[in-house]
Amino acid sequence: MDTVHFVIDKPQRWDSSFDPDMSEAAVTRLLGIRPFSEMDVTKFSKRTPLRGILKNDARIRRFKNGEIIVRAGDYGSSAFLVLSGHARVVLNPGLPASMLGRRKSQRKGLFEIVAQLWTNPRDPEVRTQAELEQDTGVKSRSGSQGAGVFLQDVPRILDEHKTATMSAGDFFGEIAALSRTSRTATIFAVGDATELLEIRWQGLRDLLRFDDHLRHHIDRIYRERTLATHLREIPIFKRLNDEQLKRVIAQTQFGTYGDYDWSGDYKRLAREGKHSPEKETIIAQEGDYPNGVVLIRSGFARLSQRFGHGHRTLNYLGAGCEFGLREIAHNWRQRTDAVPFQQTLRVIGYTHVIVVPTPVMEEVVLPTVPPEDLPALFTPGELAETEVSETTRKLDAGAKIGPELMEFLTENRYFNGTSSMVIDLERCTRCDDCVRACATTNEGNPRFLRHGQISGRIMVANSCMHCADPVCLIGCPTGAIHRGQIGGEVLVNQATCIGCSICSNNCPYEAIRMVEIREEDGAFMVDKDMKPIVKATKCDKCSDQIGGPACERSCPHGALKRMDMNNLDAFAKWLHR
């Protein structure tokens, strides 16, 4: 019997170019400029030649005087090389939020709150002129030339703020792009002839892989600027003197796992029901020799242990967590009785880690730690799996909230939420007071759906979770979606949102909606081509209200709670209340 086959092309690395208009002539020009002119093209693989990287993973951008290139606090997935002209880095203290195209976080006064009784509009998604007017000092641009935000009074900014100049050949933005951390400074163009090469994360990763010079350059910057500060924040490294810290920094290794833009893949796999923990990349495997302490710098990792023929999730580790320290400390003290890794560490989505090798730990770090501060030794019973230590018990979040719920949270990546809307269905009467409260507080527009994934009696509703790793922030062209200054909530500035949908498409939890906005008289707002003006909307955790999230306050049965899913102890306490 004949069978019908659907023939499709296997997806290729460069199916989607960063800039489809990037010309061969431009690439040839770039190959003549440092650092590319100094790169050894023979070291690049045939599948990803240098020319191909520049053609497909880079684009040339021209900025005008005062145009912001990167904003402090933004999440970006690309690095920049100055080709010509100048850019200025604003040193600490940075520019105020209003100058960066963001709205200053502020709570409503009591009168403004009471006034909502009579000021709420009758039509949905109404925006007032005041809401759409950007604060002074900045204006946004959208259209065919790309979107951007301009500083209005550059001479005054140069007078009032300390800045440093970047000129042709300078690289910036690579640390934030590679480690998926927020940009630490704002950089803007000076003069109308600033030309930059923007290299997306994938291209930068390949350049680093094949070019030793660039890798050493970025490696050095990373060690100098970031690593020392990061290590100093970790208790076990606190007692190191400068000399010892230098030794540790010199031998520390970095690793980036998974996909920077994991949300797209995740959404596809989830839709197809193909997601499986066994397919996740392993950072460190149970039973292997512990060759270093793994410190998670950004993203998340799943901590699991063999259970029957599968793996049981014990916990998920986020930025600031470590893995393997207990094993290494045990082996250092009990040299005749070495133990391998007791759990497996897997990448969930994207994980950036720092690995401090075992010899450095043993020679430099562990001798500085008082014995009482070292992790407990493994007991024979623990190694024989006949008993569970207090350390493991603390780590085993699944034991506190139930293994099924643990798997549910991990599978659906709800650990990302710092303010997930969790509903106890055994107490929820489905009265929708939460939805009504949300709508009334947000001028008649509910910002969530009381609907979502369910495990047992727990539902995680479709509402913005204000993620620890906010994928939605990646790629916003105007910085309209940003973290608030008061509680770190993820907010959308309606004035600078250009309705491009990047944030909405990136959000793995489908918590951002694009809406057509209206004027105060109820008419749809349109642009000059008579197309409706679209804005991104989402839960802002009632950041402008005195009382906090209306949904939580309005639940008469205490069934709805905004939970930080990284605090599983609090979650367990709430579950068993």
Question: Contact positions toward another protein, by CB under 8 A?
Answer: 110, 113-114, 116-117, 425-433, 436-437, 440-441, 449-451, 454, 457, 459, 542, 545-547, 550, 552-559, 576-577
Contacts of 35 (CB under 8 A, 6+ apart): 81, 169, 211, 213, 214, 217
The structure tokens listed for 138 are: 């900045």
DSSP character for 126? Answer: B
Please give the sequence-ordered ranges of beta strands (E in DSSP) within 253-309, or none if there are none: 253-258, 282-284, 292-307
**Nearest-CA neighbor of 506 among 541, 548, 464?**
464
Q: What's the min distance (Å) between Cβ of 425 and another protein? A: 4
Q: What's the min distance (Å) between Cβ of 119 and another protein? A: 11
Q: What's the min distance (Å) between Cβ of 494 and another protein? A: 19
Q: What's the min distance (Å) between Cβ of 116 and another protein? A: 5
**Nearest-CA neighbor of 79 among 263, 257, 222, 262?**
222
- Tell me the one-letter amino acid at 212: D
Residue closer to another protein (CB basis): 5 or 577: 577
Q: What's the min distance (Å) between Cβ of 189 and another protein? A: 42
Residue closer to another protein (CB basis): 6 or 111: 111
Q: What's the min distance (Å) between Cβ of 449 and another protein? A: 8
Q: What's the min distance (Å) between Cβ of 510 and another protein? A: 16
Q: What's the min distance (Å) between Cβ of 388 and another protein? A: 24
Task: Specify which residues 194 forms β-bridges with.
Answer: 63
Residue closer to another protein (CB basis): 49 or 124: 124
Write out the DSSP string of 425-460.
TTT-----HHHHHHHHHTTT---SEEEEEEETTEEE
Is the omega angle on the peptide bond into residue 93 within 30 degrees of 0, that is, cis? yes
Residue closer to another protein (CB basis): 346 or 450: 450
What's CA 44's distance to the chain center, in Å? Answer: 30
Q: d(Cα 27, Cα 21) in Å, to the nearest integer?
A: 11
What's CA 41's distance to the chain center, in Å? Answer: 33
Residue closer to another protein (CB basis): 416 or 441: 441
Q: d(Cα 146, Cα 160) in Å, to the nearest integer?
A: 29
The structure tokens listed for 371 are: 């014995």
Q: What's the min distance (Å) between Cβ of 347 and another protein? A: 32
Write out the DSSP string of 465-534.
--BSS-GGGTT-SS--EEE-TTT--EEE-TTT-----HHHHH-TT---EEEE-B-TTSPBPB-TTSPBPE
Which three-class secondary structure state does DSSP give residue 313? strand
Q: How many CB atoms lie within 10 A of CB 381?
A: 11
Q: What's the min distance (Å) between Cβ of 513 and another protein? A: 16
Residue closer to another protein (CB basis): 114 or 376: 114
Q: What is the dihedral of CA 164, 170, 173, 174, to 10 degrees?
A: -140
